[in-house]
Amino acid sequence: MSEIAIQAKGLTKWFGEGEARTKAVQGVDFVAYLGEIVYIVGPSGSGKTTLLSMLSGILRPNEGSASILGTDLWSLHNDKLADFRLNHIGFVFQDYHLFPRLTTAENAAIPLILRRKPWDQAIHEAEKYLGVVGLESRKDLPPVKLSGGEQQRVAIARAIISQPDILIMDEPTASLDGDTGRSVISFVKTNLLNEKRCILVVTHDARINEFATRIITMEDGRLLIRAETTE
C-alpha cells in the first residue's frame, strides 16, 4: 500500500450563524495516496472548493481534521502552517492568479522568492520549470501576451517549482477549450505524477475524466460512497 498523502476526518465547514447557517461541507472522511491523481467532481455549490481549501490549509474547518503526510494542518500555528504549505503543497487556482506586471519567469519564481532565494537564482530556476511546461521561450512575456492554456501552464510551473509532495488543482480546465484542457491535464499526469507525489483535482469537466486514477463524487457537502477507478 502506498503512503497516505492526504487524509480528512470528519471535516466540516459552515458559513453564517443561527438560522442563516449553511453547511458547505458535512463530516467528510477522505484519503488519497502518493502516486494517485484523484478527482473530486460534482455540481456547482456541492462544497468541492471549500473542501479543497480545507485540505490545502487555506480555510480553517469548524470541525474535523486535515493532514498532509501525517502532519495535522490545523494544529500548526499560522507561521508554521504557511511554511508547511510553501514546502509541501502546490496550488493551481482556477483563475491562474498571475501578477500582470511581472514576466512569466517572475510569476513562476514567486515561491522561491518567498523562501528568500536570491533573485537571479530564483529566475534561473523558474526558467528551467517553464521549460518543463514548454514555455521557456515565453519567459520574458507578461501574462497578457499568453493564451489561456499558456497562463495555466505558468500557474503549474509556479506550483511545482518547489517540488511539492501535493499538487492541488481547482477547476484547472474551467477557462480552457476542450483540446487545451485535455492537453494540460495529460501533461500534468505524464510529467508530474509519480510515486512521491499526489495530485488532487476538483473539476466538473467530464472531458478529462480519463486521466484520473480515481473519481469521487461530492453532493450537498458530502462525498458519495461510490467511487470510480479509471485504470
Residues of the chain with pLDDT under 50: 226-230
Say if strands 37-41 and 198-203 run parallel, antiparallel, or are unpaired: parallel
pLDDT at residue 227 in the model = 45
Give one DSSP letter per residue of 146-188, joined into a string: S-HHHHHHHHHHHHHTT--SEEEEESTTTTS-HHHHHHHHHHH
Query: What pTM was computed for the model?
Result: 0.86
Order across the sheet with 22-33: list the strands: 22-33, 4-15, 63-68, 71-72
Cell of 78: 499560522
Side-chain half-sphere CA neighbours of 96 within 13 A: 21
State the pLDDT at residue 20.
85
Identify the CATH assignment for 4-97+166-229 out of 3.40.50.720, 3.40.47.10, 3.40.50.300, 3.30.70.260: 3.40.50.300
Q: Report the C-alpha gap between 141 and 144 in whole angstroms.
A: 8
pLDDT at 1: 57
pLDDT digits (tens, 9 = 90+) for 40-74: 999 888 999 899 999 999 999 999 999 999 999 99
Average pLDDT, the chain: 90
The residues spanned by each domain of the chain are 4-97+166-229
The pLDDT of residue 225: 56
DSSP state for residue 16 in the 8-state scheme: S
Cell of 28: 467528510
